[in-house]
Amino acid sequence: MSASTRIAILDVDGTLTRVASPWQYLHERLGLWDTEGRPILDRYLAGESSYDDFCAADAALWNREGLTLEAAGALLDQIPLRPAATGLLRELAEREVAILLLSTGFVRVARRILEAAGSPPARILANDMIAIAGGRLAPRLDVSADRDDPRSKPALAGAATRELGLRPAEVLLVGDRKADLDLLGPRASGVLVRDDRDLTTVHEHLAAGR
């Protein structure tokens, strides 16, 4: 990482938390993953549904089970955070590195992490669940997993850096998938997070001023 790093774009789920997918997590907590949640994902991965339809199918399943917005939030609040996550966010803020949390997961999880870190200045681009008529859940999708969608992570990361007038070399990407490190091409620095220790690697880069 270069000393000229001006923004860190961080994935949330599996990166700052120990749960790779909060969507799957909700299915698992409701006992629905193996029987109904996984088949919904498999149909999406096979190209049989769009990302929007995939997320709507998840919400329909939760509605069938009577899951409320409040109950869903209480479950999401139990997702364990990586121990170094809050310290990393504080350090980025102290070094005046802009923070963008970019996730196909839920805004609630990202906000919880920021609050645990003392609410450093940060921008969140993520999805959400909202309550509609009758208290039913519906997805609000601001980030898509479809790479050709204008709401995709690469599109949103590119727009955020252009908005700030930054070059890829001034960006640090942190994520638990290789795709998270390829959002801006090869000139951006990246740290792949596979376990708790990998976030410490980001601290070491910052301390070394790379």
Domain annotation for the chain: domains and CATH numbers: 7-19+81-133+140-208 (3.40.50.1000), 22-76 (no CATH)
Q: Is the pTM of this model over 0.75?
A: yes
pLDDT score, position 21: 98
Average pLDDT score, the chain:
94
Note the pLDDT tens digit of each residue in 92-145. Answer: 999 999 999 999 999 999 999 999 999 999 999 999 999 999 999 999 999 999
Q: What burial class does residue 102 get, using C-beta atoms within 10 Å of its C-beta: 0-12 exposed, 13-18 middle, 19+ buried? A: buried
Q: Which residue has the tokens 């049989």?
A: 48
Q: Give the span between the Cα atoms of 191 and 199, in whole angstroms.
A: 8
209 pLDDT more than 80: no
Q: What is the mean pLDDT of residues 3-21?
A: 92
Collect all residues with Cβ–Cβ distance below 8 Å to 2 and sequence separation of at least 6.
169, 170, 189, 210
Residue 130 has a CB neighbour count (10 Å cut-off) of 11
Q: How confident is the model at residue 169 (pLDDT cuts 50, 70, 90)?
A: confident
Note the pLDDT tens digit of each residue in 44-64. Answer: 999 999 999 999 999 999 999
Collect all residues with Cβ–Cβ distance below 8 Å to 177 and sequence separation of at least 6.
11, 14, 192
